[in-house]
Amino acid sequence: MEYRNVGISELRISVITFGAWAIGGWMWGGTDKRAAEEAIRAAYDEGITTIDTAPAYGQGLSEEIIGEAIKGIPRGELQILTKYGLRWDTTRGVYYFTSIDNAGNEVKMYKYAGKESVIKECEESLRRLQTDYIDLYQIHWYDPSTPLEETMEAIVRLREQGKIRFAGVCNFTVEQFKHASSITSIISNQVNYNMLQRDIEADLVPYCLQEGKGILAYSPLARGLLTGKIVPGQPFPKGDHRSTHKLFQPENVKQINEFLKTLKPLAESHNATLAQLVLRWTIDQPGITAALAGARTKEQAVQNAHAVNICLTDEERAFIRERLASFILQV
């Protein structure tokens, strides 16, 4: 495994980070707790020491699964990343969207990061994770109903109390990121980034490189699309958000799979899967600290970890960029 510091901070994480959204089951058609715990432990055995989760992932379930899975692993060998500011148990803040929970009930999500709410969320996350500190505490989405100064006041307090080590943001624009960083130390921005969705290259990446900030890339496999295993009209379990996601419409899937066919010989030349090639490409991109790769089984976790074994040449990276340049205009 390879490890990098998040920006210029002292927080060092594995470049392949265990993304724990799917194991919470929420919006992924349910979960298998035992398989999820096995996946986390298998990831750790392969050197993946960093786990990213959030209370919203299964309304606490993802964090609870992680708390059980990491028992017996020295806490100092792990980096636990979680979030705050996306609530399902209050109507305060700004309405975000409505989804279905693992029990089939309607859940309304709100962006809310008021000071006392942030402190309450942190305490609940610590309890579910069965730990006494969080390595990186991140606001899940920008909350326009709460001044960032108020939100960051809570973060400063939690850091002073030793309950969090570092603070980060997620899904922030460059201007929002700058604003938060002007209030207190913010070391990273977690954003959607993959071969198909590269908008951050225009502004966020240059800013982070200049300011010494980290970028944590979520959905590096585009929710499974870039594995090459999704077919047009793919059936998904009830409650799986991909069934209505625009990228998964049949024509898009067809185009993406045609693009992936051009990369398959390159993956095979490295004795790698398409998913592993895509993960390696992602962590090789300027400004990207780590890729958050989800895994619901131990086999998937091991395969994700082995992506670091690929060593792409400059020529091979240029080849991928050429393929992307001709493909991206069609999506």
Question: Which residues are known to be catalytic?
Answer: 57
Angstrom distance (rounded) from CA 294 to CA 145: 31
Nearest to 257 by CA among 327, 197, 329: 327
Angstrom distance (rounded) from CA 23 to CA 87: 19
The gap from C-alpha 261 to its chain's centroid, in whole angstroms, comes to 26
Q: Which helix (DSSP H) or strand (DSSP E) does residue 110 occupy?
A: strand 106-111
Backbone angles phi, psi at 31, to 5 degrees: -150, 160
Backbone angles phi, psi at 131, to 5 degrees: -140, 170
Nearest to 290 by CA among 203, 187, 211: 187
The DSSP line for 299-311 is HHHHHHHGGGG--
Checking phi first, is residue 52 left (phi over 0); if not, alpha (psi -120 to 50) or beta? beta
Angstrom distance (rounded) from CA 150 to CA 154: 7
Q: Which helix (DSSP H) or strand (DSSP E) does residue 108 occupy?
A: strand 106-111
Count the alpha carbons within 13 Å of 289 in the hemisphere toward its beta carbon. 24
Angstrom distance (rounded) from CA 75 to CA 179: 32
Percentage helix, strand, coil for the chain under 3-state DSSP, each rounded to 5 = 45, 20, 35
Structure tokens at 113: 């990061």
Q: Is 290 helix (H, G, I), strand (E, B) or coil?
A: strand
